Structure 1
C-alpha cells in the first residue's frame, strides 16, 4: 500500500480505555506496526488496563490516567490537548477493544493528506459490521439519521469512533465547550467540525464487534445522545450563530 508523504511519527492515535485488559495488548501491538504514537487515556479501570499498558514499555505508547470514570468525551478531550501540545499534525481516534481494523486506519491516514477530517463509515458502500445484534444496528443507523436531520449533517455514519482529525482543525475549537460524556461525543465533534467548515471525507470500514470484555453501550448513553441532539436541533433553528460563538476560539 502506498504510504503517505507525511511521516507516520507526526501522527498519534488516541484510545480511551475502561476495563480493556483482555484486548489492549493485542490492539497496541498491531497498531504499532503503523509506526504511529499511541496515547491511552484510562478512566481508572478496575481491571488494571493502565498498568498493563505501562508494563508493555513500548517507546511509542504513553498513558494518561484520568483517576476516575469520566466518560469517552472527557477522555478524548484530554487526549486532544496532549496531542496538540506535543505538536502532532494528525490525531486519530480509535476504540481499544479491537473493533476497528488497523488496515482501515492505514487507508484513512493516506486520505487524511487531502481532508481535514476522515471518518470511518460502516453504513456506506464498502462498509460493514460483523457480529452486531439487530438492536445495535438499529440504534446506530437511527442515531445517524436523527442527528443528520436535526443538525443538517449529510454524513452516513455519525456515531462511529474511527476518525482522523487534522491538528489545525482541532486547534480552532474551544475544547472546554464540548460537554458530551458518552458516544454522543462523536456526533458533537462532527457538529463542531462543520461549524468551522473543515473538509470531511467518509471512508468505508469493516467494524467487528468486540470478542473480549463488555460493551460500554447503555440506555443512559442512548438517552444522552437523543436529548442533546434534540436540543442542538432546536438551537440550530432558533439561534443561528450560537454554535460558532460557543465552540470556535
Structure 2
C-alpha cells in the first residue's frame, strides 16, 4: 500500500486505563509537553478513581477527551473504539500507548516523524538499541521466543510483533474492517500486524527502552499469554477471518 508523503498534522493519542490513578497526571503532563496532539483516554470504570482524575484534568485541558465505559471491557475493545474515533473525527494518525510509562512519552516525536515514511511505526524492544528493562532473563527470553514463533508462523513484517507503542497512519486504519477484529490481549496486536503485513503496509521499528511500570500492577495474565499463542495458529490456518476490508482482501494474495 502507498505511504503518505507528508507527516501527520492531526494526531490522536489513545490511552486505555484501568486503575492507573498514580500514573495518569504525570503521564498526561509529559505527553502534552512532548507533542501537540489530542488525547483520548478510555477508562473501564477504574475502582481507584482514575476516570475521575482524568475528568478533573480535562476540565482545564481541552486536548483531553475522556470516555467512561461500564465494567472492565478490555484493552483490545478500547483500542478498536479509539481507531474508530480517529477515523470518524478526521485524524491523520493515531498513537497507542500504555498508561504506566512503559512507553516513554519522550519517544512520541520520533514515532510521528517516522510516520512520514511508513504506514505503521512501532516503538520496538526487538531491534538493535531496543531493550526490556527490569525483567528477569527468563521472562525476557520467553518474550523473544514468543515473538520469534509468531513472526515465523505468520510471516509478519515486524520483529516486535506484540509491541503496543504504535503510530498508525490514517491510510493503514482505513483498510481494516474494525467489526471483524476479534482477538484480545497480545492476540489483538498479532491480528492487526498480520492484516497489515498481508496488505503490504510499510512498517518501521524504532528502538525503545521498555521499563517495568513505575506504579500499579501489571494487567498481563497467563491466560492472555496462552490465548495469544493460540491466536497465532488460528490466524495461520484461517480460523480467524481476515480483518482487512473485503476489497483489500480480494486484492491481496493468499498466504
Same fold flag (TM > 0.5): yes
**Distance (Å, rounded) in 1 between the aligned partners of 2:170 and 2:71:** 27
Deviations 1:7-40 (A, max 9, x none): 65x0011111111111011111100111111111
1:1-249 alignment runs, 5 A limit:
6=7, 10-33=10-33, 34-57=35-58, 58-235=61-238, 243=242, 247-249=244-246
TM-score, structure 1 normalization: 0.90
The CA deviation at 1:186 is 1.4
Q: What is the aligned length? A: 239
Aligned to 2:253: none
| Kept after mapping to 1: 8 A contact 2:8/2:116 | no
Q: Any gaps of 5 or more consecutive residues in structure 2?
A: 1-5, 247-255
**Distance (Å, rounded) in 2 between the aligned partners of 1:174 and 1:24:** 31
2:127 match: secondary structure: coil
TM-score, structure 2 normalization: 0.88
Q: Any gaps of 5 or more consecutive residues in structure 1?
A: none
Relative distance call for 1:163 and 1:198 in structure 2 (3 A) is: same
The CA deviation at 1:73 is 0.6
Deviates more, 1:13-22 or 1:177-186: 177-186
Relative distance call for 1:133 and 1:172 in structure 2 (3 A) is: same
The CA deviation at 1:182 is 1.2
What's the RMSD between the two structures over aligned residues? 1.9
| Kept after mapping to 1: 8 A contact 2:16/2:78 | yes
Deviations 1:158-181 (A, max 9, x none): 111100001121111110111112
**Distance (Å, rounded) in 2 between the aligned partners of 1:126 and 1:68:** 39
Deviations 1:63-90 (A, max 9, x none): 1212121111101000111111110001
Structure 1 stretches of 4+ moved >4 Å: 5-8
